[in-house]
Amino acid sequence: MSDSSAGKLPDLAGRTAIVTGATGGLGFETARALGAAGARVVLAVRDLDRGRDAAARMKRMERMAGPVEVRLLDLADLSSVRRFAADWTGDISLLVNNAGVVYPPELTRTRDGFEAQFGVNHLGHFALTRLLREHLTGRVVSVSSRFLASGLDLDDPNWERRPYHASRAYNESKLAVLLFTIELQRRLAAAGSTVIATAAHPGWSATGALSAGRGLLPAMLRLGTPLLASSAEAGARPSLYAATADIPGGTFVGPGIMQMYGAPKPVPTPGVALDSESARRLWEVSERLTDVSAGDRK
């Protein structure tokens, strides 16, 4: 077992890790740590120039034991997701579904017409994971949140009939991420796969995404984030723990102190994310919306 709670990772030489949204914030720090531990890290990014800059910054910050690659992936465009998956060859030891949209100031839609937070945070990663399934050999880590909706409106997941509410949409998207993780793990186990699915949340972490949506945050978080939030490096530790620690599939990881700060550890999965019927329906809706429904190999 790795001592990832203390920031120490096992030797990852010879393993390939894909990290989405790795140009900054949690994704950058997650990819940097995995590369420093020896993994071949693929930065899956929507802006190649920013991706190349991130790769260069990683190499300047510390000696990277593993190679760093940059590949184009726009999770707001399913055709980009399909191209990324179709072009992939070789095994994937670790897929970190990290990229996210946080609190856009107004209703925004992806290229395929999905509400942006649900479309990127959940549907894009759902399609990516399913399309890469033949290559997965180790673990899928998805980044959720401590703040979840009380349920999903699967009759209107893309806010086509409801009055739009950005924070509610975000909380629903992050609940979808956790429901997907639990259902993915159930299906992997039922198929006898050795691949496992885990999830993590960063606690109160000052990331670029959080800053972008600061105007819509609750007052306490908006005012306190600059002074009290942990760094992006600290916020990435739960993802790294979920990626490398000796834990069972379906584990949810967060900071140990009030799920806001401190060393990462397994935390209770909220009951709303354990609703098997909601998870099943979400899977079916996601297959229909993304048109990704091929059977799992593992």
pLDDT by residue for the chain (298 residues), tens digit each? 345 554 689 999 999 999 999 999 999 999 999 999 999 999 999 999 999 999 999 988 877 888 999 999 999 999 999 999 999 999 999 999 999 999 898 999 999 999 999 999 999 999 999 999 999 999 999 999 988 999 999 999 999 999 999 999 999 999 999 999 999 999 999 999 999 999 999 987 655 445 444 444 555 455 444 445 567 888 999 999 999 999 999 999 999 777 677 889 999 999 999 999 999 999 999 999 999 975 443 3
Q: Is residue 296 part of a domain?
A: no
- Residues with active-site annotation: 170
Instruction: Give phi and psi for 32, each to the nearest 5.
Output: -60, -45
Q: Is residue 298 part of a domain?
A: no
Q: Is residue 5 part of a domain?
A: no
Query: d(Cα 182, Cα 184) in Å, to the nearest integer?
Result: 5
Q: Is residue 295 part of a domain?
A: no
Q: Is residue 76 part of a domain?
A: yes
Q: In what order do the strands lie in the sheet with 136-143?
A: 68-72, 40-45, 16-20, 92-97, 136-143, 196-200, 252-257, 261-266
Q: Is residue 275 part of a domain?
A: yes
Query: d(Cα 202, Cα 109) in Å, to the nearest integer?
Result: 26
* CATH assignment at residue 104: 3.40.50.720
pTM for the structure as a whole: 0.90
Domains contained in the chain, number: 1
Q: Is residue 45 part of a domain?
A: yes
**CB-CB contact of 16 with 92 (8 Å):** yes
What are the angstrom distances between the C-alpha of 202 and each of 30, 71, 291?
Answer: 11, 25, 31
What domain range is 219 assigned to?
A: 10-290
Q: Is residue 114 part of a domain?
A: yes
